[in-house]
Amino acid sequence: MLPQEFLNRMKESLGEEYPLFLASYEKEEAKALRRNPLKTEKEEFEEKMPFTLRAVSWTPMGYYYPLEEQPGQHPFHQAGAYYIQEPSAMAVAEYLQVKPGERILDLCAAPGGKSTQIGGYLQGEGLLVCNEPHPARAKILSENVERMGVANALVTNEMPDKLARIFPEYFDKILVDAPCSGEGMFRKNEEARQEWSLENVQLCARRQAEILDEAAKMLRPGGRLVYSTCTFAREENEDSIASFLKRNGDFQFLEDKRLWPHKIEGEGHYIAVLEKKGSLQEDYRPLPANGLAKILTLKECREFVQFGQEFIRDFADREWRLYLFGDQLYHLPVDMPSLKGLKVLRPGLHLGTLKKNRFEPSHALALAFLPADFNFTWNLSVDSREVRDYLAGQTFLAEGEKGWYLITVDGYGLGWGKLAGGIMKNHYPKGLRR
C-alpha cells in the first residue's frame, strides 16, 4: 500500500503521466547484475555465464536476468565475477567518469555496489576511499569490496566531518549517494513504504545538506561531485542541489537526471553532477592531514617473502607496499593515507597472516589476484560436485606439488587449498561456507 500523501504529491507533480507512473507499481521489479572488469572481459563473461542476459543500456557492465534465475546462488557469484545490483543504481557511477589513477571518495558507500563499480573502472590504479558511517553496514561494504577483488580500496567507518578534517581538497572525484526517504524503492521495499512520511523527507533533506557540505571540503579544485538519491522528492533532489549551490559559491552545476520507473526498466533515481571551480597543475597531489602510512620493507616480512617466492609469479618484479596491523599484512594503494585516528575496516589488500615461521594467505588475496598470478592453481568445473563440496568446506583428493593452490571455478579464483599427502585441504572461509 503506497502512502496517500505520497500519491497526492506525485499526481500533482506528474500530471498526465501519473497513471503510467502508478501502473509501474503493478509490474515486477527488474533484476540485474554487473560484470566485474577486474576479473573477466566482456566476451569471456557472456560466453561463460549460464544465465539469460540482456544488456542494461546505461552501463557497458550491466545485464538484466529473468526473475526465476538465481545468480546469487552460483559459484561465479562467490568468485566475484559479477555483482547483483538494481539496474538504475548502475547509472550513478557512470556520471563520475572514472579514470585509472584517480583519487575517489564514495562517502555513503554501503552495501558497495557503486564502490565496486568505481573500483572496476580504476583498474587497480589510484585510491578509492569507501566510507560508511553505520558499523554493521560498513562490514557488509568491506566484504563486498573483498569479493569483487578491489585491491586499492580503503574502507572506513567514519562520519563525513571527520573525513573532511583529514582529507581537505584531496579527492579528484566524490560520490555522495545520500541517505534518503527511499521513494524510488517503494516497488521493491515494503520497509521504505512503511517508514515514509513528509516529516522524514524534510529530515533527509537536512541530513543531505550536512553531508554535501562536508563532501565539498574534500574535493579538489576542478574536481567532480556526483550526488544521487533513490527518491522522487524534489526537496531531496533539485531543491537540495539548489540550496547547496547557494551555500557553496565555488561549485557549478553541470547536469542532472531523473530515472522514472514508468520510463525505464528499473527503479527511481535522481543524479546531479557538480564541479568545483578552478583548475590544478598536473602534478597536484596534496597529502592527507594525518600524513602517509608507514611502509615496511620486504626484509621486515621474511615469512611473506618466502611464501611469495614460492607461490606468486614474478614476485620479485612486483612493487610491494606492505603494512602490518597486528599480525595481519596488507598491500597498500599508492600514497596511502596514515590510518592514525581513522576507524578502518580494510586498508588496501589483505595479503594474509604472519604466523611463527610461516605465512598464511588471505581469502582476499585469492580474490584480488588472477589465476595467472599464482604458480599453482586447481580448477574445478562449475557443474561439478567438487565445486559444491569445496564451497561447503570439504577436502578432496589431488596429486601434485605440495603447498598452496588457488582453487578456481572455470578459471575464476574462489579461494585457497593446501595440498599435502594427496589431500587438498580446504581453506575456504568458514563464514562463507554453504
Mean pLDDT of the chain: 96
**Which pLDDT does position 323 carry in this prediction?**
96
> For residue 198, what is its C-alpha cell?
513528509
Q: Name the pLDDT band for 48 (thresholds 50, 70, 90).
A: very high
pTM above 0.85, yes or no: yes
Cα–Cα nearest to 402, from 268, 311, 332? 311
Residue 61 has pLDDT above 80, yes or no: yes
pLDDT, mean of residues 183-189: 88
Given a contact cutoff of 8 angstroms between Cβ atoms, the answer to whether 393 and 328 are in contact is no
**Which pLDDT does position 405 carry in this prediction?**
98
**Which pLDDT does position 279 carry in this prediction?**
85
pLDDT, mean of residues 392-411: 96
Q: Name the pLDDT band for 434 (thresholds 50, 70, 90).
A: confident
Residue 190 has pLDDT above 90, yes or no: no
**Which pLDDT does position 285 carry in this prediction?**
76
Tell me: the pLDDT tens digits for 72-82? Answer: 999 999 999 99
Considering only 59-68, 172-181, 192-201, which range has the smallest mean pLDDT? 192-201
Q: Name the pLDDT band for 188 (thresholds 50, 70, 90).
A: confident
126-140 burial: b if 16+ Cβ within 10 Å, else e: bbbbbbbbeeebbbe
Cα–Cα nearest to 225, from 200, 256, 201, 183? 256
All domains of the chain in start order, with CATH: 4-276 (3.40.50.150), 374-434 (2.30.130.60)
Task: State the catalytic residue, choosing from 108, 204, 230, 301.
Answer: 230
**Which pLDDT does position 81 carry in this prediction?**
98
Is residue 204 part of the annotated active site? The answer reads no
Helix/strand/coil (H/E/C) assignment for every residue in the chain: CCCHHHHHHHHHHHHHHHHHHHHHHHCCCCCEEEECCCCCCHHHHHHHCCCCCEECCCCCCEEECCCCCCHHHCHHHHCCCEEECCHHHHHHHHCCCCCCCCEEEECCCCCCHHHHHHHHHHCCCCEEEEECCCHHHHHHHHHHHHHCCCCCEEEECCCHHHHHHHCCCCEEEEEEECCCCCHHHCCCCHHHHHHCCHHHHHHHHHHHHHHHHHHHHHEEEEEEEEEEECCCCHHHCHHHHHHHHHHCCCEEEEEEEEECCCCCCCCCEEEEEEEECCCCCCCCCCCCCCCECCCECHHHHHHHHHHHHHHECCHHHCCCCEEEECCEEEECCCCCECCCCCCEEEECEEEEEEECCEEEECHHHHHHCCHHHECCEEEECCCCHHHHHHHCCCCEECCCCCEEEEEEECCEEEEEEEEECCEEEECCCHHHCC
pLDDT, mean of residues 105-121: 98
> How many Å apart are CA 98 and CA 173, to the nearest integer?
8
**Which pLDDT does position 280 carry in this prediction?**
80
pLDDT, mean of residues 306-323: 96
